[in-house]
């Protein structure tokens, strides 16, 4: 039963990723990417990592992809954007990436062939994840948090400068820029 579910979820993930790469409409590509992330979450769940599956849904599908959709909405590409994208996706563009990913695929198949067998059955809960993260991997957690802090400070700086250069009335930078684009 689990094996069947695993193969269904994997097929959905692969197909959705392929569509996410090949669609010329940015919004459609993003929807395929979200489906692909949800399929990966199902795979995590089946492999006995419910916590990782939940985080995949909450953080990747639920927050990061929302920001991507947000950006797409701000850009408001429309039909011209699709046309431009279609011209850009000439068959010759695919040659380089295809060769590189084929090399990676062969490498991965070799690695899988040498592993003794899939580790299944053990359920890894939130507590174990937490203990591992703040035990042996605490350095990685700290580095990640420093990276996030740097990003936060950078974003604050960019936002601050933008706001100071504006006249006092225009306090809502985000909304105004969206409206200006609409009018343009």
Partner 1 sequence: MSDFWIIVFAISVMLGAVGGAAVTTWFERRLLGLWQDRYGPNRLGPFGIGQVAADMIKLLTKHDWVPPFADKWVFIFAPTAIVVAMLLGFAVVPFGPGLQIIDLNIGLLFFLGMTSLAVYSVLLGGLASNNKYALLGGLRSAAQMVSYEVFMGLSLMGVVMLSGSFSMADIVESQRDGWYCFSQFLGLFVFVIAAIAESHRLPFDLPEAEHELTAGFHTEYSGMKFAMFMLGEYLGLILISCMITTLFFGGWLAPFSLTFIPAIIWFSLKTFLVICFFILLRCAIPRPRYDQLMSLGWKIMLPITLINLVITGAVALWIAGA
Catalog residues that contact partner 1 under the rule CB under 8 A: 25, 27-28, 31, 34, 50-51, 53-55, 57-58, 61-63, 66-67, 69-70, 72-74, 76, 125-126, 171-172, 174-175, 178-179, 182
Nearer residue to partner 1 within complex by CB, 115 or 184: 184
Smallest gap, in angstroms, from Cβ of residue 58 to partner 1? 5
Taking the complex as a whole, how short is the minimal distance between the CB of residue 59 and partner 1, in angstroms?
9
Nearer to partner 1, 98 or 128 (CB): 128
Q: Closer to partner 1 by CB, 73 or 108: give it.
A: 73
| For partner 1, the closer CB: 6 or 51 | 51
Give least dist CB 26 to partner 1, A: 10
Please give the structure tokens belonging to residue 5: 């579910």
Q: Would you say 2 or 175 has its CB closer to partner 1?
A: 175
Please provide the size of the chain in residues.
184
- The C-alpha R_g of the chain, in whole angstroms, comes to 22
Nearest-approach distance from CB 172 to partner 1, in angstroms: 5
Neighbour tally for 176: CB within 10 Å: 13
* DSSP string for 6-37: HHHHHHHHHHHHHHHHH-SSHHHHHHHHHHHH
| Residue linked to tokens 């062939």 | 113
Minimal distance in Å, beta carbon 102 to partner 1?
A: 32
**Residue 51, C-beta contacts closer than 8 angstroms, at least 6 positions apart:** 124, 125, 126, 129
Task: Give the number of other CB atoms < 10 A from CB of residue 71.
Answer: 10
């Amino acid at each position: 039963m689990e094996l069947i579910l695993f193969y269904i979820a994997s097929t959905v993930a692969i197909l959705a990723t392929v569509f996410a790469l090949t669609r010329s409409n940015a919004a459609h590509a993003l929807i395929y990417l979200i489906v692909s992330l949800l399929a990966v979450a199902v795979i995590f769940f089946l492999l006995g990592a419910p916590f990782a599956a939940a985080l995949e849904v909450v953080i990747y599908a639920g927050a990061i992809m929302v920001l991507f959709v947000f950006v797409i909405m701000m850009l408001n590409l429309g039909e011209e954007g699709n046309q431009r994208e279609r011209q850009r996706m000439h068959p010759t563009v695919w040659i380089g990436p295809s060769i590189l990913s084929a090399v990676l695929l062969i490498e991965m198949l070799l690695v899988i062939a040498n592993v003794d067998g899939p580790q299944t059955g053990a359920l890894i809960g939130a507590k174990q994840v937490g203990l591992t993260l703040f035990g042996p991997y605490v350095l990685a957690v700290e580095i990640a948090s420093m990276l996030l802090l740097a990003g936060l400070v950078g974003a604050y700086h960019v936002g601050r400068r933008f706001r100071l250069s504006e006249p006092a009335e225009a306090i809502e930078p985000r909304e105004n820029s969206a409206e200006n684009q609409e009018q343009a």
